[in-house]
Amino acid sequence: MLTGRDILTTKQFSIKELDLILKTATRFEQALKEKRVLNNLDGCIVASLFFEASTRTRLSFEAAALRLSGRVISMPEAAVSSLAKGESIADTAKTVDGYADVIVIRHAQKGSAQTAADYAAHPVINGGDGSGQHPTQALLDLYTIFKETGDVSGLTITLLGDLKNGRTVHSLSYLMAKYGNRMIFASPSSLAMPAEITAELKSLGGDVSETSDVDEALAESDIVYVTRIQRERFEDPAEYERLKGSYVIDMKTVARAKKGIKILHPLPRVDEIATEVDAYEGATYFRQAHNSIPTRMALLALVTGRA
C-alpha cells in the first residue's frame, strides 16, 4: 500500500494507511522486545541528509534502519555538503538517489522534501522542512497516543505553544482531524496556528477551536501536546525574548487539568515543561521519543516494500 511512496505530509494518508503504519509499528515493537534479529532492509541503503539540527529524528531513523539490517550513509550538516558550494536541493537529490534506496531529508526550507522527491526516484521521507511539516513525528505521536490511551479517536487534544512555526503541530493536526478528534489551539496570539491550516482543517470537518485560557482548555483535554517556541524561525531575536517563557506546564498546571491528562512534547524541551513534571505518570514525552524507533522502522520497511 505504501511501497515506493514518498512521505512528505500527513495530509497524504488515508485512515487505512495510517492503521497499517500503526499495526506495522506494533509488530516491530514486539519483535524488538523479543530481541529478534530483523533482516527487512538487508541490502538496502538509507541516506540520512540532515541539513538542520536534529538529535531524535536523525538518530532514530538511523537506528531504525540498523535495527532492520539496513545500512546508512549520512550527511550530518550542510556545511560539509556541496550545498555549501551552492548546489541545489534538486541536484543533491538527483545525485543521492543513485547512492541509496531511501532518502530521509531535513532542511530549513519549507517545501525542501517535496523538491527532493520531485528529483529522486526512490522514496523520500520528510524529516522536517522548515516550518512546514514533520510527518514522521506526527506518526510517532499518533502511535504514542494509541499506546497511551488505547485509542486514536474520540479524544480532546490541546495543542499548546508555537503553533505558527511548529511543524510538528501542523502535521499532527491533520491526523487528529482525520480521526475525528476535538482540537483546542492555545498559543501566544502572535504564534497562532496559520489561518490557512485552521481553515483547511475545518473544511475537512475538523472540530477546531482557539483559546488563550490554557487552564480551561486543559480541564477538558485528554491530551496536551506542548511545543517549544521555535527560536530558530524568528527574524527578530527581541521578539523571541519577549515571548519566551509565556507558558509553562508545571505540577500546579497538571493539578488543575483533567485527571489523567497525557502530556506529549516532540522535544527538544527548553523551559515550557518544568522538569518536576517528568515524574508524573502522564508525562509521556520520553516514551514518545522512544516510540520513534518502531514507527520509523515501519515507515522504512513499508516504503521499501519490505514490511
Taking CB under 6 A as the criterion, the residue among 56, 67, 170, 228 binding ligand CP is 56
Q: Report the distance separating Cα 175 and Cα 201, nearest Å.
A: 10
Taking CB under 6 A as the criterion, the residue among 3, 30, 39, 55 binding ligand CP is 55
Nearer to ligand CP, 134 or 262 (CB): 134
Taking CB under 6 A as the criterion, the residue among 9, 10, 40, 57 binding ligand CP is 57
Under DSSP, is residue 197 helix (H, G, I), strand (E, B) or coil? helix
Nearer to ligand CP, 28 or 285 (CB): 285
Burial label for 42, CB within 10 Å (0-12, 13-18, 19+), is exposed
Nearer to ligand CP, 103 or 208 (CB): 103
Taking CB under 6 A as the criterion, the residue among 12, 26, 54, 114 binding ligand CP is 54
Count residues binding ligand CP (CB under 6 A): 10
Residue 137 found at the interface with ligand CP (CB under 6 A): yes
Q: Report the distance separating Cα 54 and Cα 273, nearest Å.
A: 20
**Region from 114-122, 246-254, 256-264, 266-274 binding ligand CP, contact rule CB under 6 A:** 266-274
Residue 267 found at the interface with ligand CP (CB under 6 A): yes
Cα separation values, 229 from 5, 45, 67, 276, 302, Å: 32, 35, 33, 20, 33
Under DSSP, is residue 218 helix (H, G, I), strand (E, B) or coil? helix
Residue 48 found at the interface with ligand CP (CB under 6 A): no
Rounded to a whole number of angstroms, the minimum distance from the CB of residue 43 to ligand CP is 27
Q: Which residue has the cell 520528510?
A: 126
Residue 74 found at the interface with ligand CP (CB under 6 A): no
Rounded to a whole number of angstroms, the minimum distance from the CB of residue 289 to ligand CP is 7
**Taking CA 193 as the corner, what is the angle to CA 267 and CA 77, rounded to the nearest 5 degrees?**
40
Residue 39 found at the interface with ligand CP (CB under 6 A): no
Q: Report the distance separating Cα 142 and Cα 151, nearest Å.
A: 9
How many beta carbons lie within 10 A of that of residue 75, not counting itself? 18
Q: Which residues bind ligand CP (CB under 6 A)?
A: 54-57, 128, 134, 137, 266-268
